[in-house]
Every structure is written in structure tokens, then in C-alpha cells.
Amino acid sequence: MTRAFVFPGQGSQAVGMGRELAEAFEVARHTFEEVDDALNQRLSRLMVEGPEADLTLTENAQPALMAVSVAVMRVLQSEGGIDLAKHAAFVAGHSLGEYSALCAAGAFTLADTARLLKLRGQAMQKAVPVGKGAMAALLGAELEQAQAIAADSVDSALGEVCSVANDNSVGQVVISGSAEAIDRAIALAAERGLKRSVRLPVSAPFHCALMQPAADAMAEALASVTIAAPVVPVVANVTASAVSDPNVIRRLLVEQVTGMVRWRECVLAMKEQGVSTLVEVGSGKVLAGLTKRIDKELSATSVGTPADVESFLKTL
């Protein structure tokens, strides 16, 4: 099997997400209702109507993006007979998308996934006071260059943190940490000739050591949740290698909160194992775009709307 299904992370949300799916497919509508019931929240209404500021809140964006991804996957299963065990070599997801991947592959129930992501979003937001942390994209940077800039930007006497959060693709590396260190890193990146560095509009410094309180909260939550072996291996963010053992999955999801998302390496690892096509499942087209930058030999497609579903099923 030369296909892998991948699931987007935060930043792919948009007001209106899931509306066409719910209108066209009963299984999508039921998926959104199931998430609403699990959270005791009308998340599906927020997804469709906004306001954007509320949808973008981490505690809402994370379960909302997962809900759309799982809805699309269920539509593919019901309309096209897609069976991950037969039609995919791997699944993987970017940050919160790893939970979507695990849910799609049967490791988590949908209700548990929704509750875990709601908690994860809340815990990440609470871990660092607003304004104390920041993230920035270093455009044109290679991983080692970004790591050096991050390390050289920290005033260790003040207990600052700055590290690589996401290795997304060639020339797109995201750093995360203390706000002052991030500002220094942006200035240093300019001095070292990077074409552009920009602060990201995020509410917390994800995937760095400042997130340890959130990692502790997720360790406690995950300890009481049943994890089944996924029907296909999941390529984990923090190791960029395939995993199927539920106990290892549990540990890696905790490490993921403070660890670097090694997305570029995840994609290349799947290619090394024979994958030639990545299918992005859910809202937006971010991962498909990154795939083309990571390796031009890989093909990528995004499936998030009824029209996408129809065209994708014709390729099978």
C-alpha cells in the first residue's frame, strides 16, 4: 500500500468548516452531534457560524478540527468503502491531528478524542500567562539553523525558553518559547540572513518546555482513557517513526505537548516505507502544501468537502 492518510493541526480552522459535509452526508451530521454530546457544547454551531475569535480559541479549534477530519473519514468509509486497514499504509497528524489520526484508526473513541482535545486546549492555554510566551515562523531556515538561533536567543539567567516547535518543511521552521527570547530570535534571524521571520497569532507557546503543566494534565487524562491498537501504524510526531503499541502511544502523546513536531521527518519516513501519496483529511490544505515542499516526488491531495470526496473516490 502506497497511500497514507494525514490529519491537519491548528491553523486550518475556518468559520463554515463542516457545513457542506453536514448538509450532504448524514454520517457527517451524526459525527458532529456526537462531538457536541461528548463536550456538552454546541461546537458544531460555532464551527459553522463563528464568531471566528471563539472558534480560534485553542480549546475549541482542537476538537473542531478533529471533528471535521473524522467526519470526512467516516464519509469516505460510508460512501466509498474506504477501510484504513486495506487502503492505507500509515496515518499521521500534525500536533492535535495526531489525535484525529488515532481516532480514525480506531485507537480512541470519538467521544474520548473530543474530551481529550478539549482538555488539551484548555491545559495548553492555562500553562503560560497570556503575553509571556510566543511563537514565530522562521521562513527560509533549515532545522539546524533554527535550532542555533533559538539557543542563542535565550537569557538562561532569566530562565527563558526558546526551542524549535515545528519542523514543518524545508524552509519553514517554527520556534516557541518566552516572548522576549522569541523577539530576540526574530532579530537574530534577520542578522543571519533569513528572508523573513514572523510572530504567529497564537495564544500560547506550544511544543516547548513552557508547556510542561499541560503535559502533566494530559498524562493524568490519558492514564484513564482506553487506547486500542490502531488498525494501521501511526507515525508519531515526536519520534517520526511508526507506532502501534497503546502504551507507547500514551507516552508519546504526553511527550508531544512539550516536544518538537517532526513533521518533515514524518513525511520522509513514510516515503522511505514506500508511501507515494498523502491524503490530507479534514479542513484546509496546509499539509498537502507542505508535502510538495518536503519532497516533490510525493503526491498529495486534500479531502474536506463533498466535491473533494467525490473526486477522491474516483481515483481509487
* Catalytic residue positions, numbered: 95, 207
Reduce the DSSP state of residue 275 to 3 states and report it. Answer: coil
The per-residue b/e assignment along 75-97, b for 16 or more CB within 10 angstroms, e otherwise, is bbeebeebebeebbbbbbbbbbb
- Bridge pairing between strands 162-169 and 172-178: antiparallel
Distance between the two ends of the chain, CA-based, in angstroms?
12
> Which helix (H) or strand (E) element contains residue 299?
strand 299-303
Residues 181, 155 contacting (CB under 8 angstroms): yes
- 175 DSSP β-pair partners: 136, 164
Kindly state the DSSP code that residue 15 receives in the 8-state scheme.
T
Residues 121, 214 contacting (CB under 8 angstroms): no
* C-alpha 42, offset from chain centre: 22
